Every structure is written in C-alpha cells, then in structure tokens.
Amino acid sequence: MHILRHLNRAKNAALRQLKFKGLNAWLNMTCRPQAWAPDKIKRILLLRLDDKIGDMVITTGTARQLADKGYHISVLTGPVCEALLAYSDAVHHTYRYDKRMSLSVLRQQRFDVVIDFDDVRNYERLRLLHRLAPRYVIGFNKSGSARYAPQLVWRDSERHITERHRAVLALFNLLPAPFRYSLGRDPSAVDALAPYLSRPSDEWIIAINPFTGSEDKDFSREQVAGLIAHLRRRNVRFRVLLIGRGDLLRRWELADAAFIVDSTINTAVEIVRSADLVVSPDTSIVHMACAFNTPLVAIYNTRRLKDSGLVGYNIWAPHYDNAVQLVIDQPSVSDLPLDALCLAVDDKLADITRQRRNGELTRCRAATSAEDYRQR
C-alpha cells in the first residue's frame, strides 16, 4: 500500500510539472509585457499563498508603505494570516486562498499588479496569475517565465529578507525609509489577555515561545522548565506567559507558567506587544517582537531554507537593536545547554534594566494605525 501511495504521489507531481511547463511555454509565446508605469497603478494584490505567519508579518511593512502612498492593497493568503490581517488598516481586503477557489470575486477587482514574494514556481500559481490577468506581475527569481514582469533577482544569504521587500518598494519610487511591520489589534485577543496583565508595577512579564514549524527549531520542555526555575531564583518578580497552542502547552504541565487555553495568532500578537521580554526560537514571534520593539532573546540553528537552500539565520534575523540573536552550531535548538540560554536571558534583563533606568527603552505597544506609525 505504501508503494502504491508513493507511486501515485510521484505520478501527480510529474503531471503537475508537465502542466506547468506547457502553460509556461504557451504564456511565453503569447505574453507581451507592458512597460512598467507605476503612476497607472491603483489596485495591488499581494500573494502569500503558503499562509506562513513570519512572511506575512514582514509583508505588512510593504503593505503599510504602499497603503500610505494611496494604493489599494489586498492580500490573498491562508486562514491564519487572514486572521492576522483582520484588524490591519494597511490592508483593504483579505481573501482566503484555496487551490479550487472561484476567482470571480478576485477577477472583478481588476488588479493592476500582483506581487508574488515567493521563489515558488508551479502550475497552480502560474494558472492563478494567468486567470487573474493583471497588467503586471512582480516576481522574484522567475527567469524563463514571461508572465512575470517586472522580474527581480534576489538570492543573498548575507542580506535580510526586508531587502527583498525594499526592492519591490523601489519599483514604486518609494525612497528608502524605516521598514516597520504593521500589526493591528484584535479586541477579542486584548480581552482574552487582560486577566494575565493585571500585575503589580514591579512585576515583569516574560513571554516564552517554545514551538516553531520545525522540530529542530523547537525548545524542549526541559529547557523551558529550567529557564523558568532560573528566573524564579532571581531577586525580581516575574510572571511567565507561554505562547503557543493550549493543547500542546497543557501536556507540559508547567506549574510556574500561564498560557491562554484558546490561543489564536492574535493573542500571540498581544502577548508579544505587552511583554517586557520575549524568548523564542526562529519563528514568527521574532518578527512580531520587532514590530513592537519588544526586548528579545532569539535562538537560531544553522538550518537551510527549503525553497532556496540559503542559510536562514541572516535572512530571517530579528533585525532590530533591542534583540539578541544566538546562533548555535548544534543541529537542534533543543541541544543548546541550559546555562547558555539562562546567561543570554540574564544579560538581556540587565540591559533592559539599564535602559529603563536611563529612559532609553522605547516601545511601540499601542501603534495600530497609520498615524501611530508615522509618529514613532
């Protein structure tokens, strides 16, 4: 049975590749790319089809700058990112992507340009672009596909992912400016978190995010429990909030930490917005922390990105001054010695204390609108 399933998957993959090559060849013969004219563009659709939260958090920086210049911004993405964008004033419409979805509503929008941020090349994506029929499709590393125009080349493991987004903004003649992510505020998430934020003025909130999308980047239960025990031995009052799915965190049975049972992506945003310090492996929580300038200790391994093969710890670094990034040689983040993790957290807590004493720590907790972001 296993062999039959393997053969069926191989057959389907071969058919999709054949269909991609056929459609791409036909489009290469029939497409006549128009000269790039940003002054004629009004309606923009951003593609984030894989529903990856970290990618979407960073994409909000591009959406913010384009929206502030008067462009009408829509996003096509999955259900989690749809929820993340529900309260974003930078995005006018969010559409939920499905391979079998009807495109009638999207086609009625008559988008002037679609921006595809991914390096992915497949039949479903090319067919979607063909059927939407925008005037332009901005794409990265899509040589040999005439449907993508303008095309941008970006493969550099030494430059941060925001540089890819800056390349897009340059096409719209937007001058280099601080690239700030733009996350809205879900009232129901604020209400869900409120009981956990009632605390004495001298109590710190330490948020720990144990989980990522890959086991080799996850913290172990032993690391989290050990860090909490270490924090409890300090002569400072702490409250530890865990970020993640309630069903997974409940299994860990950590008595000295709280978590939101019915957590959502937007409760995670509010925890990061409210925390005094976040501790996390390489995942979307890192970029949420950047959005609010929340002090951060982030742990990365040296794994390579699936789509490009590039090492991810430079491209997806926290990329702001209030973050500490540890890159470990061990294959798994769970192999990081507890002493090293505790030392990094102690150093960051000392740094936060110094900044507070000197009035140097600036937070962006309440920034939820375009005007808020302009006034930072």
Residue 24 in any domain: the answer is no
Pairing of strands 203-208, 151-152: unpaired
Residue 21 in any domain: the answer is no
223 and 84 co-located in one domain? no
What's the confidence (pLDDT) of residue 84?
A: 97
Residue 50 in any domain: the answer is yes
Domain boundary among 102, 137, 171: 171
Three state DSSP letters for 82-145: HHHCCCCCCCCEEEECCCCCCCHHHHHCCCCEEEECCCCCCHHHHHHHHHHCCCEEEEECCCCC
163 and 194 co-located in one domain? no
Cβ-based neighbours of 341, under 8 Å, separated by 6 or more: 223, 226, 227, 279, 297, 299
- Measured from the Cβ of residue 281, the count of other Cβ atoms closer than 10 Å reads 25
Whether the predicted model's global pTM rises above the 0.85 cut: yes
Cα separation of 122 and 124, whole Å? Answer: 6
120 and 197 co-located in one domain? no
- Measured from the Cβ of residue 93, the count of other Cβ atoms closer than 10 Å reads 15
Residue 133 is part of which domain span?
Answer: 32-171
151 and 237 co-located in one domain? no
8 Å CB contact between 176 and 166: yes
51 and 194 co-located in one domain? no
142 and 198 co-located in one domain? no
- The domain tally of the chain equals 2
What's the confidence (pLDDT) of residue 76?
A: 98
Cα separation of 227 and 133, whole Å? Answer: 53
Cβ-based neighbours of 289, under 8 Å, separated by 6 or more: 272, 278, 280, 295, 296, 298, 318, 323
259 and 338 co-located in one domain? yes
| DSSP bridge pairs for 261 | none
97 and 227 co-located in one domain? no
Cβ-based neighbours of 223, under 8 Å, separated by 6 or more: 210, 334, 336, 338, 341
Residue 374 in any domain: the answer is no
Alpha helix positions (H), 133-253 = 162-171, 187-197, 221-232, 246-252
Cα separation of 63 and 69, whole Å? Answer: 10
196 and 103 co-located in one domain? no
What's the confidence (pLDDT) of residue 306?
A: 65
Q: Mind listing the pLDDT tens digit of every residue in the chain (376 residues)? A: 677 777 677 777 788 888 888 888 898 899 888 899 999 999 999 999 999 999 999 999 999 999 999 999 999 999 999 999 999 999 999 999 998 899 999 999 999 999 999 998 999 999 999 999 999 999 999 999 999 999 999 888 788 999 999 999 999 999 878 899 999 999 999 999 999 888 887 889 999 999 998 899 999 999 999 999 999 888 778 999 999 999 899 999 998 899 999 999 999 999 999 999 999 999 999 999 999 999 999 999 987 676 666 778 889 999 999 999 999 998 899 999 999 999 999 999 999 989 888 877 767 654 433 333 333 3
What's the confidence (pLDDT) of residue 93?
A: 96
What's the confidence (pLDDT) of residue 347?
A: 95
139 and 199 co-located in one domain? no
288 and 352 co-located in one domain? yes
Burial call 22-32: b when 16+ CB within 10 Å, e when fewer? ebbeebeeeee
Distance of CA 350 to the CA centre of its chain: 28
Cα separation of 126 and 307, whole Å? Answer: 17
81 and 143 co-located in one domain? yes
